Amino acid sequence: MRRRPRPLTVPRVLHLAAGLAVGYLLVPLVGLVGNVPWRELPRLLGDPLVLDAMRLSAITSIGATVLAAVLGLPLAVVLARSSFPGRRLVRGLVLLPLVLPPVVGGAALLFALGRGGILGAPLYRATGLVLPFSTAGAVLAATFVSLPFLVVTVEAALAGLDPRRELAAATLGAGSWTILRRVTLPAVAPSVASGLLLTWARALGEFGATITFAGNLPGRTRTLPLAVFVALEHDRPKAVALGLLLVVVALGVLVALRGRWWRTS
Amino acid sequence: MSRSWRRARTARPRLRSPGIVVLVALLAACGGDGRTTLTVSAAASLADAFGEIETAFEARHPDVDVILNLGGSATLREQILAGAPVSVFASADLETVSDFVEEGRFERWVVFASNRLTIGVPAGNPAGITSLRDLARPDLAVGLCAPEVPCGRVARRVLDAAGVDVRPVTEELDVRALVTKLEAGELDAGLVYRTDVPAAAIDEVPLPTGLPADTEYVIGVISGGPESELAGRFVRFVRSRDGERILERHGFGR
Amino acid sequence: MVADVVTGGLEARVVVERAALDVALELPPGRTVALLGPNGAGKSTILEALAGVLPLDEGRIVFDGVVFDDAHRVFVPPAERRFGVVFQDLLLFDHLDVVENVAFGLRARGMGRTAARRRAEAWLERLEVLALARRRPTELSGGEARRIALARALAAEPRALLLDEPLGAVDVTGRIGLRRVLADHLAAFPGPRLLITHDVTDAYLLGDLVVVVEGGRVVQRGTPDDIRLRPRTRFVADLAAVDLFEGEAHAGTVRLGDFELTVADTAASGAVVVRIHPRAVALHAERPAGSPRNVWRTTIDRVEAQGDRVRLRLGAPLALTAEVTPAAVATLGLRPGAAVWVAVKATEIDVEAR
């Protein structure tokens, strides 16, 4: 099939720059994959400490996704469907973890939810619960950084939804809960799904806030990214093997999201 | 508060990737004002002392711009192995650079300072720690450095020698991160360097003299690194009376 | 099936500033009020205000003696008004199949899934679309989707019906069947019915009363004949002056009482509506030669000057309206009582099944 000629509307030099960008994204991947010790891979990935980290990453990323859903879905709905003073401010606040260095987020969590923090101190006095250095803390850290992904995705989908459809449901006698459950959420279900997947992926990759807030202890808070970092200090092949694992997971997420989050056409 | 933030930033992960090497090279090339640049990689615990040494050295050599590349010793080591154009490397222990010594990656090297581990506690010592043995108390949140980094290695050596079984709640990858969490009061105790105490909002409970809590800092000129002659002069300055005085003021031993 | 016995009508004064709208409406029970007007007249806004999806800025809505909206203190939300609404863009639920769409109102009011579905299927059958039960709204034609929207509104057991262009965007064949179904269900519905349309035929055939809205104001109200015979604005005159006759079609002719017209549509047969636009009616002093098949002689009943045009009401055998220029009036000596020859081309006569 002959390619149809198209009038050139993009300066040629942009193609060159674009090629450079692609190269810059590709070269590190090639570097990583080129360093993978394929033969040792089963042993490296079967290491009990690595399995510990995988288990922990599964727990924390899924936990963070569930928590983000519980907190984030109502927020997305309220942001998209109600008007209240300070809504723009709240929307900015939601975006903050996206642009904030995760370490700063972790430090902020420490000052808020730590044993001496503004919320953590009363919690500790009342229940003896200490969130830093606990798996729950790792979940909270991952939730903090990944929550925006869910809220932003779902809110955007809701904003693109004709609110008159919900009003039509109201004329049929549906109350607000029925409308939410039977009209609004089903209509944005695909976006909720991709938002949850993105949230999970971000939670899985979380490093900075986790190490700052939850510390680094094998079996309790040392998730896969932390394990990669520790391994880089003394066991480079293991670090590369874990890195490969995370790359494969990330590619899986992208494949699952194709045509939704990014266009395939 | 502001100090904690700065320290939290020092604890930021530094990935040893080709990208970092490029970054270090860019840093090194930044002396665009005609001065010769000298890149010095130094252990994070040397940050304050080497900052002063940098100023003093530059005052003496106006044509030289010293660039400090601070980080965990193991991280810095990996950068150099990956080809970062570093002239001088100051490591927090000899173990980290043992192969540098054996394989001749150091043109010259010397032990130039010593440090000592101490029990760091939040200001006022709220948990009432009096001895190393207290660190085994199950009701305390104790933090150590990870065994993969120098401060963690020394900590385990000390604990083994004392026969104290500590269950840490976290293994920090950088002594500064440990100090931050002590300052925040999230940890009741942690084994940190003596030199970390004065500048931080924490107190210390010194370890008894019998324990192997001392650690030696090694500085060396990288073989085949850029500006090796100038690098040698920098190392000599660190070991000069002026350099030693700065190190002493920051709590380092000789 | 209808839970509440409707005794009262719907009375409203609807003021919506954004749409520059201020109209008063009275919808008696058991009657269909056709709301006629050009695009942008504010017809849909009126419906949305009555349905409760758009609050009033001023005015009030009273249904069966109960205030639904007084623009200040009282606002009864749409779910509690129980009005059956067909929106112009239908707003079917794309993620639900047709049965679930129709059962939605019943289920929202707490009816069990199976019972609601059974009831919905009965409505689909009444509207002759049971075969579409498992389809998604995106898989329906315009006419089919309108029937589903109507079924959805009716199934929810509403106390009033508010229909926005229920025959819009439907092709001619679909339109005929749909109009018949609509006429049947409107007639059977005991509550007030509002039918929005911009088509005078629909207003004439389905409306008991017609309210004409232009530029956010009611410009005329009355029976369809009032509107047709005594138009008060250019828009109404334009629309209403189109003469409508009911007749019987057979093989290219339509019989209107004693009179017979030749039409281009040879396929039409049975009960039809015939539409003739005044501009399609040509007047001549002498019997015209040539092709027109429909030629007859009549007298002029009335002459109405309307700006740059003149409308002439023609007498027996067919009460037609003709539109000519003032110059033609002078040339042909057109005045009440004058005799003229009338010619209407077969191709200018619209025939539509009733």
Closest chain A residue to the Cα of C51, Cα to Cα? A171
User: Containing domain of residue A129, as a range?
Assistant: 58-217
Distance CA(C60)–CA(C84), nearest Å, equals 19
Same domain, C224 and C306: no
Which range has the top average pLDDT, A141-155, B71-85, C209-223? A141-155
A228 is written with which tokens?
Answer: 């990669």
Which tokens go with C150? 């109507």
Has residue C257 been placed in a domain?
A: no
A48-81 and A236-257 helices, crossing angle to 10°? 30
Give the ipTM of the model, two decimals please: 0.74
In a domain, A143, yes or no: yes
What string of DSSP letters covers C232-256? -SHHHHHHHTSEEEEEEEETTEEEE
Task: Tell me: do C296 and C230 sit in the same domain.
Answer: no
Chain B residue closest in CA terms to A108: B5
Is A135 contained in some domain?
A: yes
Chain A CB contacts of C61 under 8 Å are none
Please indicate whether residue C211 or residue C259 has the higher confidence score (pLDDT). C211
Q: A116 CB near a chain B CB, below 8 Å?
A: yes
**Chain A residue at shortest CA distance from C86:** A168
DSSP string covering chain A: -PPPP----S-HHHHHHHHHHHHHHHHHHHHHHHT--GGGHHHHHH-HHHHHHHHHHHHHHHHHHHHHHHHHHHHHHHHHH---TTHHHHHHHHHHHHHS-HHHHHHHHHHHHSTTSTTHHHHHHHH----TTSHHHHHHHHHHHHHHHHHHHHHHHHHTS-HHHHHHHHHTT--HHHHIIIIIHHHTHHHHHHHHHHHHHHHHT--HHHHHHT---TTTT--HHHHHHHHHHH-HHHHHHHHHHHHHHHHHHHHHHBTTTB---
Architecture of domain B116-214 in CATH? 3-Layer(aba) Sandwich (3.40)
Are C80 and C184 in a shared domain?
Answer: yes
Q: Are residues C101 and C184 in the same domain?
A: yes
Task: Work out how many CB contacts closer than 8 A connect A with C.
Answer: 65
> Each residue of C182-192: pLDDT tens digit?
888 898 999 99
Number of domains present in the structure of chain A = 1
A-B interface: how many C-beta pairs under 8 angstroms? 92
In angstroms, rounded to a whole number, what is the distance separating the alpha carbons of residues B44 and B16?
Answer: 16
Helix axes A120-127, A102-113, angle to 10 degrees: 50
What is d(CA C268, CA C243) in angstroms, rounded to the nearest whole number? 19
- The candidate with the shortest Cα–Cα distance to C351, out of C255, C216, C229, is C255
Residue B5, pLDDT above cutoff 70? no
Q: Do B186 and A234 touch (CB under 8 A)?
A: no
In a domain, residue C252? The reply is: no
CB contact under 8 Å between C156 and A168, yes or no, is no
Helix (H, G, I), strand (E, B) or coil at C227: helix
What Rg, from alpha-carbon coordinates, does chain C have? Answer: 23
- For residue A158, the one-letter residue type is L
* C75 domain residue, yes or no: yes
Q: State the smallest CA–CA distance between residue A92 and chain C in angstroms.
A: 30
Report the CATH number at residue A75.
1.10.3720.10
Question: Considering only CA atoms, which of B154, B15, B11, B10 is closest in space to residue B75?
Answer: B15
Does residue A175 form part of some domain?
yes
Residues from chain A contacting residue C148 (CB–CB below 8 Å): none
pLDDT at res. C41: 84
Together in a domain, C17 and C127: yes
Whether residue A31 lies inside any domain: the answer is no
Interface chains of chain B (3 or more CB pairs under 8 Å):
A
CA dihedral (C49, C53, C58, C59) in degrees, to 10, reads: 40
Structural domain contains residue A259: no
pLDDT for B29-76, tens place per residue? 444 567 889 999 999 889 889 999 999 999 999 999 999 998 888 888
Q: Which of A164, A167, A169 sits opposite C104 (nearest CB)?
A: A169
Residue to mutate among C96, C104, C109, C161, with most A CBs inside 10 A, is: C104
Q: How far apart are CA C272 and CA C263, in angstroms?
A: 12
Q: What are phi and psi of B173, to 5 degrees?
A: -90, 0
Which residues of chain A neighbour C51 with C-beta distances below 8 Å? 167, 171
A252 falls within a domain: no
Least confident of A94-103, B215-224, C332-341: C332-341
CA of B141: which chain A residue's CA is closest? A133
The whole-angstrom separation of Cα B212 and Cα B189 is 19
Per-residue model confidence (pLDDT) at position C209: 93
Residue A195 lies in a domain: yes
Which of A83, A164, A172 should one mutate to test binding to chain C, selecting the residue with the greatest count of C CBs within 10 A? A172
pLDDT band at B13 (very low <50, low <70, confident <90, very high): very low
Q: How confident is the model at residue C285 (pLDDT cuts 50, 70, 90)?
A: confident
Token look-up 């819009």 returns C168
Task: Spell out the domain ranges in chain B.
Answer: 2-114+216-249, 116-214
Q: State the pLDDT confidence band at A246, using cuts at 50, 70 and 90.
A: very high
Examine the domain organization and report whether C74 and C177 are in the same domain. Answer: yes
B129 φ/ψ sector (left φ>0, alpha ψ -120 to 50, else beta)? beta
Model confidence at B9, pLDDT cuts 50, 70, 90, reads very low
**Domain with C222 in it:** 10-240
> Residue C320 domain-assigned?
yes
Angle, in degrees to the nearest 10, between helices B73-81 and B18-28: 90
Contact (CB<8Å) C79/A173: yes
Give the pLDDT band of residue A262 (cuts 50, 70, 90). Answer: low
CB contact under 8 A, A186 and C96: yes
The enclosing domain of C291 has a CATH number of 2.40.50.100
Task: Give the pairing of strands C209-214 and C32-36.
Answer: parallel
Residue C37 lies in a domain: yes
**Spatial contact of B195 and B52, defined as CB atoms under 8 Å apart:** no
In-domain check, residue C291: yes
Q: How far is CA C115 from CA A147, C85, C103, C104, C121, in A?
A: 41, 22, 9, 12, 10
CB atoms A212 and B8 under 8 Å: yes
Contact between residue A212 and residue B183 where contact means Cβ atoms under 8 Å apart: no
Number of folded domains that form chain C: 2
From the list A162, A164, A174, the residue facing C79 with the nearest CB is A174
Phi, psi of C199 (to 5 degrees): -105, 120
The neighbours of chain A, by the rule of 3 or more Cβ pairs under 8 Å, are B, C
How distant is the alpha carbon of residue A240 from its chain centre? 22
> Bridge-partner residues for B170, per DSSP?
B143
What is the average pLDDT across C129-143?
Answer: 92
Q: In this structure, is residue C100 part of a structural domain?
A: yes
In tens, the pLDDT along B160-217 reads 999 999 999 999 988 888 998 999 888 999 999 998 888 888 999 999 988 999 999 9
B60 within 8 A of B247, measured Cβ to Cβ: no
| Summary mean pLDDT of chain C | 83
Domains B2-114+216-249 and B116-214 belong to one CATH topology: yes
Class of domain B2-114+216-249 as given by CATH: alpha beta
Domain membership flag for residue A53: no
Interchain touch A–C (≥3 Cβ pairs closer than 8 Å): yes
